């Protein structure tokens, strides 16, 4: 298997075979992100992908999940993506699901019918980085989209029958917009009704634009308890029909998870207890936090 640069995948794809079909990220401008900065975005040829699939068949023929990397494989034009997905489906007889990252732009380049076509061939989940429901913050972090377009992209995925898993980022509004970001994000999750939502907490990575903003004093990172207040407010503002929400990523100070609305009260109670106690031993130690 040939991999170029660092490889990133969602936590839920830990047991998946990773095939690097694109190199880098098609957007690659988010101020908080350090991933893919050493790569110039390009599509790998079908021949390269086929060689990797043939090699993978020798040791992982009965793999159940495949994750198509890098940062935005859904940007691949449909006429080039279909043969790749067919290749993967035919190579692994026990394959249950293909997953990949998508952003607002790449999803909107696909019609619902095209997404349904991908679903029929085995694409079962699309991971979308929402980050925030606050348009001011979205603009500041150079996400390159607007909330209405992200909502439309989410609807297309849902209408296709593909599972929609989104990520949001605690603390990305800084101290200044902490409460606004939390409320707006909870309401936006209500609007788009994803199947899964994962909360990460902002970690300032050296070399990023965000790190420069922190250095200049134009961005102040919320402290751990402010991040928990954001988490509480966010969950409080979610009115979901059937959403699995989790903050168990390694970047977070407090892991909570559960189905909304069924476990909403229990999750809020757990967060409130930690906020009331203000006991540092209840939080993940700083040295254990990671992206």
Mean pLDDT for the stretch of residues 105-131: 98
pLDDT class of 126 with cuts at 50, 70, 90: very high
pLDDT recorded at residue 107: 97
pLDDT class of 37 with cuts at 50, 70, 90: confident
The alpha carbons of the chain give a radius of gyration, in whole angstroms, of: 19
CA dihedral (103, 7, 166, 133) in degrees, to 10, reads -70
Mean pLDDT for the stretch of residues 32-41: 88
**Which conformational region is residue 131 in: left (phi greater than 0), alpha (psi within -120 to 50 degrees), or beta?**
left
Alpha carbon of 69 to those of 42, 101, 143, 216: distances in Å?
12, 7, 20, 34
Give the start-end residues of each E strand in 77-207.
Answer: 97-102, 123-131, 163-170, 196-201
Mean pLDDT for the stretch of residues 147-171: 98
Per-residue pLDDT at 38 exceeds 90: no
Mean pLDDT for the stretch of residues 239-260: 96
Adjacency order of strands within the sheet including 123-131: 17-20, 65-69, 97-102, 123-131, 163-170, 196-201, 243-246, 257-260
pLDDT recorded at residue 39: 84
pLDDT recorded at residue 195: 98
Q: Is 246 helix (H, G, I), strand (E, B) or coil?
A: strand
- What domains are defined for the chain? 11-288 (3.20.20.70)
pLDDT recorded at residue 20: 96
pLDDT recorded at residue 23: 94
Alpha-carbon span 267 to 173, nearest angstrom? 23
Query: What residues contact 261, with CB distance under 8 A and at least 6 apart?
Result: 239, 240
Q: What is the pTM of this model?
A: 0.95
Q: How would you classify the pairing of strands 97-102 and 65-69?
A: parallel
Alpha-carbon span 100 to 39, nearest angstrom? 18
Could you report the per-residue pLDDT of 222-243, keeping only the tens digit for each?
Answer: 999 999 999 999 999 999 999 9
Query: What residues contact 200, with CB distance under 8 A and at least 6 apart?
Result: 167, 168, 169, 170, 249, 251, 252, 291
CB 138 within 8 A of CB 106: no
pLDDT recorded at residue 183: 98
Mean pLDDT for the stretch of residues 242-263: 96
Could you report the per-residue pLDDT of 54-98, keeping only the tens digit for each?
Answer: 999 999 999 999 999 998 899 999 999 999 999 999 999 999 999
pLDDT recorded at residue 71: 87
Alpha-carbon span 271 to 269, nearest angstrom? 6
pLDDT recorded at residue 291: 81
Mean pLDDT for the stretch of residues 141-149: 97
pLDDT recorded at residue 5: 87
pLDDT recorded at residue 257: 97
Phi, psi of 117, rounded to the nearest 5 degrees: -65, -40
Of 7-16, 78-87, 170-179, give the lowest mean pLDDT range.
7-16
Per-residue pLDDT at 204 exceeds 90: yes
pLDDT recorded at residue 2: 86
Q: Say whether the peptide bond before residue 103 is cis (omega within 30 degrees of 0).
A: no
Mean pLDDT for the stretch of residues 247-272: 97
Mean pLDDT for the stretch of residues 104-110: 97
Per-residue pLDDT at 282 exceeds 90: yes
């Amino acid at each position: 298997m040939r991999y170029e640069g660092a490889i990133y995948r969602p936590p839920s794809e830990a047991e998946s075979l990773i095939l690097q079909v694109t190199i880098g990220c098609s957007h690659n401008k988010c101020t908080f992100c350090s991933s893919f900065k050493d790569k110039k975005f390009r599509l790998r040829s079908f021949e390269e992908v086929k060689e990797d699939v043939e090699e993978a068949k020798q040791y992982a023929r009965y793999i159940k999940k495949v994750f198509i990397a890098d940062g935005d494989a859904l940007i691949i034009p449909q006429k080039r993506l279909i043969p790749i997905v067919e290749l993967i489906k035919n190579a692994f007889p026990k394959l249950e699901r293909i997953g990949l990252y998508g952003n607002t732009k790449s999803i909107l380049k696909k019609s619902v019918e095209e997404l349904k076509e991908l679903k029929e061939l085995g694409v079962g989940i699309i991971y979308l980085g929402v980050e925030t429901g606050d348009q001011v913050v979205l603009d500041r972090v150079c996400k390159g989209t607007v909330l209405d377009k992200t909502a439309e992209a989410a609807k297309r995925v849902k209408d296709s029958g593909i599972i929609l898993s989104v990520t949001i980022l605690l603390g990305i509004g800084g101290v200044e917009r902490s409460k606004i970001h939390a409320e707006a994000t909870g309401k936006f999750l209500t609007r788009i009704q994803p199947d899964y939502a994962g909360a990460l907490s902002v970690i300032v990575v050296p070399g990023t634009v965000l790190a420069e903003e922190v250095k200049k004093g134009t961005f102040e990172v919320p402290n751990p308890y402010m991040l928990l207040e954001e988490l509480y407010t966010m969950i409080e503002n979610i009115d979901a029909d059937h959403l699995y929400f989790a903050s168990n990523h390694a970047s977070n100070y407090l892991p909570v998870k559960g189905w909304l609305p069924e476990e909403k009260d229990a999750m809020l109670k757990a967060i409130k207890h930690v906020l009331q106690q203000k006991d540092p031993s209840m939080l993940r130690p700083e040295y254990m936090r990671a992206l």
